[in-house]
Amino acid sequence: MVQKINLQLNKRQVFLIGFLFITSLFVGCVPSVIDSNVGIANRRWTYRNHILAPFDIKDNTKAYNIYFKLRHTADYKYANIFILAHFKDGKKMVTRRYQYKLAKNDGEWLGSGSGNVFSYTLPLLTNYHFPHNGKFEIEIEQNMRDNPLLEVSDVGVLVSLAQ
């Protein structure tokens, strides 16, 4: 009888693993148009170091989510970050300023941590419809008082289909 119980647990475990695998395939299959990540040399992000993310939109009838990606070390000295995002479609450019909160009032980082590095995927535009198909570019620059902004390790852009 003990062997039957162990066999049932094994069947449950196999079922659970199979279910999780299939679920991860569907959840992980949100296609992204671009998922860029640019390392910041010596963790010193200067005003002149703009991050460029060119990409193509093939179906402007669909909605997209656009995110700013950031990674910094625990030694980053601010609880927030200001950036300028320049949205370019070849003909015109629109610039928006964003402020993101990176830490709670008690100093605990809001990003997901891996050792000394904290990662964020922060919304720029959600459910956005591009005006036409074709080439676009997003340019990100830091807009803090410090130049260079220290302890920023990576910056990027993620553009994916909205669900």
- The verdict on 71 and 151 lying in the same domain is yes
- Using CA atoms, how far apart are residues 23 and 44, in angstroms rounded to an integer? 40
- Does this model's pTM top 0.85? My answer is no
3-state secondary structure of 58: coil
- The verdict on 66 and 86 lying in the same domain is yes
- The verdict on 22 and 66 lying in the same domain is no
- Residue 90: predicted pLDDT: 83
- Using CA atoms, how far apart are residues 2 and 134, in angstroms rounded to an integer? 64
- Residue 8: predicted pLDDT: 53
- The verdict on 26 and 46 lying in the same domain is no
Domain count, the chain: 2
- Using CA atoms, how far apart are residues 117 and 43, in angstroms rounded to an integer? 11
3-state secondary structure of 57: strand
Q: Can you give the residue range of the structural domain that contains 84?
A: 32-161
**What one-character DSSP code corresponds to residue 79?**
S
Amino acid code (one letter) for 33: V
Task: Give mean pLDDT, residues 107-129.
Answer: 95
Confidence of residue 12 (pLDDT cuts 50, 70, 90): low
pLDDT digits (tens, 9 = 90+) for 40-96: 999 999 999 999 999 999 999 999 999 999 999 999 999 999 999 999 998 899 999
